[in-house]
Amino acid sequence: MRRIIILLVFIFLFSKVDAQNYLPVDEGSSIKFAIKNFGFTADGSFTGLKGNIRFDADNSIAASFAVSINAGSVNTNNQSRDKHLRKEEYFDADKYPLINFASSSISTTKPGLFLMHGKLTIKGITKEISFPFTAVAQNNGYLFAGSFKINRRDFTVGGSSMVLADNLELSLSIFAKKN
């Protein structure tokens, strides 16, 4: 019995060591959102990726993601709208300069396809989310891609606007280079 316990501890410790460190970078990455506003789709993007990713495609249990983006980098290709989105009613970028995500668990659903569970924090409000993603090795790193929907009201983004849809879709394509 003692040998089995020692073996299990060794396997657990070894699995945590297997994952490699990667740094998410803006170059080669995109963080996009789309939401209905007055019945039309409004879209935009964010930049300012920072954080650390530990990942091994063969051992998703050892993986972890802790990343952030710059809330003030919101870009809808309309400067006056972007300025408005940085204000308190929306992202309150002066008070909450970062939008953060930290994984709590990652599992493999099939080779190259994973399921991420974690906590998303916007404007100091943290909510549990989960979403599927892919991981493709490239250029001495990985390209992670996935999408998910959130309710903007859960994070007090957009106040009580009646013309802005509650749900928005985020599409992620994150390139992380080996550290």
Say whether 4 sits in a helix, a strand or coil: helix
pLDDT over 50 at 16, yes or no: no
| Token output for 123 | 């404007």
* Mean local confidence (pLDDT), 123-141: 97
Q: How far apart are CA 171 and CA 110, in angstroms?
A: 21
For residue range 134-155, list pLDDT tens digits in order: 999 999 999 999 999 999 999 9
* Parallel, antiparallel or unpaired: strands 40-46 and 50-55: unpaired
Say whether 161 sits in a helix, a strand or coil: coil
* Parallel, antiparallel or unpaired: strands 125-138 and 113-122: antiparallel
- Tokens 């991420």: give the residue: 116
Q: Which pLDDT band, with edges at 50, 70 and 90, does 40 fall under?
A: very high
pTM (two decimals):
0.88
Domains in the chain with CATH codes? 19-178 (2.40.128.110)
DSSP state of 43: E
Q: Which of 119, 116, 91 is nearest to 105 (CA)?
A: 116
Helix (H) or strand (E) holding 133: strand 125-138
